[in-house]
Amino acid sequence: MLETRGLTAFYGDFQALYGIDAALGAGETVAIIGANGAGKSTFLKAITGLLPCLPDAVRLQGAAIGGLAPARIARLGISLVPEGRKLFPSLTVEENLLIGAHGRAPGGYWNLARVYGLFPILAERRRVPSTSLSGGQQQMAAIGRALMANPRVLLCDEISLGLAPIVIRDIYNAIPAIRAEGTSIVLVEQDIVQALAVADRVYCLQEGRVSLAGRPDELTREQIHTAYFGT
């Protein structure tokens, strides 16, 4: 489905990624873990076109999409749930969901009713400005907004960040329903436990490189600890 090969990325003169090789199969859920500054968010920025990269470095179903404009990449079927939610403050909750479907032909599985079915609290609060939602509700709205595009690949950047454990559980409970529609998912997380519980495979990043890859049940705690923190 989605594949990166030798993906490098720079912030000005600073190199943040040193050749990432990763793959995401159709319907698969992959977790990307790593410490702060390991390059996880940079990896997503490069895939979504917010950072420049070589065309061949990112492939979607075999087609080179690296470095295309973010809007084009989004329309090709890659949706991002950005770190910090990034809901549009002057739009209501429902408008935020609708903007996720902007310019897409209707008819996909996900629509307003199904998103409200997944997160019933959003239906109750559909008319309020997105700024008046709680953190967990905002995260649900951000996921719902990304789903409204009926993406082939859903990229989730730190969806548990800053949320209470019980809220995190609620949000992760939605993942199986999203997987059930065949959507491939990339979960970027610092919270290893949650990520490993739902992921088919995991990549660990360290200082801009893949330090470990494998199936969660085949990896030992020590391996992950070493890959995560170094030493």
Residues at the contact surface with other proteins, assessed by CB under 8 A: 48-50, 69-72, 74-75, 79-80, 82, 86, 88-91, 95, 98-100, 102-104, 145, 149
Task: State the Cα–Cα distance between residues 192 and 202, nearest whole angstrom.
Answer: 10
Report whether 71 contacts 145 (CB < 8 A).
no
Task: State the Cα–Cα distance between residues 153 and 146, nearest whole angstrom.
Answer: 10
Pairing status of strand 14-24 against strand 78-81: unpaired
Phi, psi of 88 (to 5 degrees): -85, 115
Q: Please, is 120 exposed, middle or buried when counting C-beta atoms within 10 Å of its C-beta (0-12, 13-18, 19+)?
A: exposed
Shortest gap between Cβ of 198 and other proteins (angstroms)?
Answer: 23
Q: Which of 127, 124, 137, 204 is CA-nearest to residue 171?
A: 137
**Closest CB to other proteins among residues 42, 48:** 48
**Closest CB to other proteins among residues 102, 215:** 102
**Closest CB to other proteins among residues 62, 103:** 103
Shortest gap between Cβ of 18 and other proteins (angstroms)?
Answer: 25
**Closest CB to other proteins among residues 21, 95:** 95
Shortest gap between Cβ of 89 and other proteins (angstroms)?
Answer: 6
Shortest gap between Cβ of 81 and other proteins (angstroms)?
Answer: 10
